[in-house]
């Protein structure tokens, strides 16, 4: 009869669909964003063997609605939208696609740094409305500036390499990084305060947890350097958006490049979207063909390994239930 895998969001890439089909599974995609109640109804109707979370949230009510559910995979690495404790209580592993989108996200972080520093989005809009602001434009040259990276996983590590031609002074803060971690081209610092005080650009690359929620609040923003730039390609909940809006509106910091927001999709009247010194993208860090292929194929491989009783890479499991792992 085969396996059924529910995909929350659009269909996966051809490569992922082919792998699933070859291994005896059928993918059922919901399309766009689906709210918890509607998703629970779909899960109850389809009763999938596995769920791949591409868009939206996967709360306990959805997990409970699928009695045959044995595996959950994230189409990416951020798992804060999944109730991992509810899954663990059912003995269901929740797995992430480690490394699949790291290069693409790091490249978008660098893109946002340049875009904010050179006022690209605002100038583009001005030109398209008939203005020529050459005489009044005053961008930021990045050569030799200081970059603070919060969270030193694969994305942060790649970003360090990407900025080397700019000869930026890179500092890293990650309290969970092992003491013997090898860092090339950057200096490790002991606190977030040091990053805030010493950086012209701050780029966030950490997960959203109870400890990191609103880690960049009014107090931290008030201590950022005048003219500094804040980049977030991780999770919107890391930043107090109201405090950031006030600081950007009042010119206390230079600008922000935001790929993630506390609530997504972002409503069109979100205050941050009204500011000329904000460059915003729709959580598109992983939106490259290369990343989509990698995320889809890895997610399918994860859930199929569980369904087929094969060994699962323990590094990909974020709730570590009792199952056979490598």
Which residue numbers are catalytic?
235, 264, 283
Question: Alpha carbon of 127 to those of 131, 133, 134, 204, 276: distances in Å?
Answer: 5, 8, 10, 31, 14
* Structural contact between residues 257 and 229, judged by C-beta atoms closer than 8 angstroms: yes
Please tell me the distance from the alpha carbon of residue 260 to that of residue 99, in angstroms, as a whole number: 19
Using the structure block, give the residue that is written with the tokens 């090339």: 184
Distance CA 52, CA 218 (A): 36
Per DSSP (E only), the strands in 38-118 are 50-53, 71-74, 94-95
CB crowding 13-50: b at 16 or more within 10 Å, else e: beebbebbeebebebebbeeebeeeebbebbeebebbb
Enumerate helices (H) and strands (E) in the chain, giving the number of each. Answer: 11, 12
- Tell me which long-range contacts 190-199 makes (C-beta under 8 A, separation of at least 24): 192/150, 192/220, 193/223, 195/148, 195/149, 195/150, 195/171, 196/148, 196/220, 196/223, 196/224, 197/223, 197/225, 198/146, 198/148, 198/171, 199/146, 199/147, 199/148, 199/171, 199/224, 199/225, 199/228
Distances (CA, A) of 16 to 5, 304, 308: 12, 11, 17
CB 120 within 8 A of CB 174: no
């Amino acid at each position: 009869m085969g396996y059924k895998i529910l995909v929350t969001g659009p269909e996966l890439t051809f490569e992922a669909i082919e792998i699933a089909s070859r291994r005896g599974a059928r993918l059922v995609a919901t399309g766009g964003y689906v709210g918890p109640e509607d998703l629970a109804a779909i899960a109850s109707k389809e009763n999938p063997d596995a769920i791949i979370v591409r868009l939206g949230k996967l709360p306990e009510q959805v997990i409970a609605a699928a009695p045959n559910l044995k595996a959950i995979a994230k189409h990416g690495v951020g798992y804060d939208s999944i109730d991992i404790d509810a899954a663990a209580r059912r003995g269901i592993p929740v797995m992430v696609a480690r490394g699949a989108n790291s290069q693409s996200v790091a490249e978008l972080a660098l893109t946002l740094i340049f875009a904010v520093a050179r006022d690209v989005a605002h100038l583009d809009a001005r030109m398209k409305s008939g203005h020529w602001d050459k005489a009044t434009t005053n961008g930021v040259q990045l050569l030799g500036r200081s970059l603070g990276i919060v969270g030193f996983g694969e994305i942060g590590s790649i970003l360090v390499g990407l900025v080397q031609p700019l000869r930026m002074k890179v500092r890293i803060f990650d309290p969970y990084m092992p003491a013997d971690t090898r860092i090339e081209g950057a200096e490790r610092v002991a606190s977030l305060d040091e990053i805030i005080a010493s950086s012209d650009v701050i780029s966030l690359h950490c997960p959203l947890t109870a400890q990191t929620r609103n880690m960049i609040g009014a107090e931290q923003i008030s201590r950022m350097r005048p003219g500094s730039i804040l980049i977030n390609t991780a999770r919107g909940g890391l930043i107090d958006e109201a405090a950031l809006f006030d600081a950007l509106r009042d010119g206390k910091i230079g600008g922000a490049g935001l790929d993630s927001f506390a609530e997504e999709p972002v409503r069109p009247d979100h205050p941050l979207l009204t500011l000329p010194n904000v460059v915003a993208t729709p959580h598109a860090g992983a939106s490259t063909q290369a990343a989509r292929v990698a995320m889809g194929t890895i997610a399918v491989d994860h859930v199929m390994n569980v369904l087929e009783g094969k060994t699962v890479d323990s590094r990909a499991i974020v709730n570590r239930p009792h199952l056979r792992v490598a």
